[in-house]
Structure 1
Amino acid sequence: MNRFLTTVAAFATIAAGTSAVAEISDDVVKIGILNDQSGVYADFGGKGSYEAAKMAVEDFGGNVSGAPVEVVTADHQNKADIASNIARQWYDTEQVDAIMELTTSSVALAVQALSDDMNKITVTTGAATTELTGAQCVPNGFHWAYDTHALAVGTGGALVEQGGKKWYFLTADYAFGYSLEEQTGKFAESKGGEVVGSVRHPLATNDYSSFLLQAQASGADVIGLANAGQDTQNAIKQAAEFGIVQSGQRLAALLFTLSEVHGLGLEAAQGLSLTESFYWDRTDETRAFGERFMERTGSMPNMVHAATYSAVTQYLKAIEAAGTDATEEVSAKMHEMPVDDLFANGASVGKNGRLYTDVYLMEVKSPEESEGPFDYYNVLATIPGEEAFISEADSGCSLVSN
Structure 2
Amino acid sequence: MGTLKVHDLTKTYGETVAIDHLGIDVRDGEFFVILGPSGAGKTTTLKAIAGLIEIDEGSVEISGIDMTQVEPYHRNVAMAFESYALYPQKTVAQNLASPLKSGRHARYSEQEQTQRINDVTTTLGINHLLDRLPKELSNGQRQRTALGRVLVRPADIYLLDEPLSHLDAKLRASMRAELKAIASRSSTTTLYVTHDYQEALALADRIAVLRTGKFIQIGTPEQIWREPIDTFVARSVGQPEINLVDAVVRGGRVRALGGGIEFAAPAALGLTEGQQLRVGLRPSELMVNREVHDHDWLRVAGRIRLTERLGRDVELDIEVGDGNLIVVERADRPHQEGDEVMLDIHLPNVHLFAGGEPDEDTARLGSALGHTAAPLPEALEEEVGE
Give me the TM-score of the superposition, normalised by structure 1. Answer: 0.30
Larger % of strand: which? 2
Larger % of helix: which? 1
Q: Higher relative contact order at CA 8 Å, sep ≥6: structure 1 or structure 2?
A: 1
Give me the TM-score of the superposition, normalised by structure 2. Answer: 0.31
CA radius of gyration, larger in: 2
